[in-house]
Homo-oligomer: A and B are copies of this chain.
Amino acid sequence: MSNFGFYRLRVVNPYEIAFREARSAVNASKVLEAAEEFASVAAAVADCGWVVGTTAVGDRHLQHPLLQLDQGAGEKIREHLQSDRVALLFGSEKFGLSNEDFSHCHCLLHIPTQDDHLSMNLGQAVAVCLYELARRSSKTEARAEPVKLAAAEEVERITKKLLDVLAKSEFAIRGSAAEGEERIRRLVHRMHLTAGDAEMWLGILRQILWRLDREGR
């Protein structure tokens, strides 16, 4: 929960001993320490404007609108979060949510899984749902770290040096000299060198050339 910025955990009718132990453990997370305990789902969601029940089954509960986690559910839930307190309801790992639990829900949420492995580990199901809720809008375009690519003249310099090395090494390139040069130029271009790597490769090639020259004398 805290990985994705969710901090309010409400626990309904937990197994007392396990819950108390987990809570008082030395390394108990803040979320667990602050967890609120309720005797019923009704009490737990009483102050929530929108209640979403999670289910491993994709099509059984026809009495509810069913959101698919990977098909817009995140947007829909975020929309409600603008104005409502939203509860995301998870069942026990063994039995999931009961029909009574579902009756407190405004809609159901399904994580699409393989037909032969519908049921998820509870912690993993929570993580996947919260990851989706925390997803940054794709409208803020994916911006990879801007990488400064080598200038074309750098790439050309590397091409020439590599051609020198190949000539000195008696490396046979198919076709005419011009065709060979083109093949090597394309080969170097396909490296998509960054400015830094271009410098490194130039240094490497210079050193090899120096060594070939020295030995060739």
CB–CB A208/B121 < 8 A? no
Most B CB contacts (10 A, CB to CB) among A170, A211, A212 go to A211
Q: Is A178 an interface residue (CB 8 A)?
A: no
Task: Determine whether A127 belongs to the interface, using a CB cutoff of 8 Å to chain B.
Answer: yes
Task: Say how many copies of this protein the assembly contains.
Answer: 2
Name A's interface SS. Answer: helix
Q: Is the CB of B111 within 8 A of A131?
A: yes
Give the chain B neighbours of A147 by CB distance below 8 A: 65
Establish whether residues A169 and B127, one from each chain, have CB atoms under 8 Å apart when the complex forms. Answer: no
Q: Is A191 an interface residue (CB 8 A)?
A: yes
Determine if A46 is an interface residue (Cβ-Cβ < 8 Å). Answer: no
Q: CB within 8 A of A215: which of B117, B132, B145, B212?
A: B212
Q: Write the chain B residue with the least CB distance to A118.
A: B3
Q: Pick the residue among B2, B144, B166, B211 that contacts A117 (CB under 8 A).
A: B2
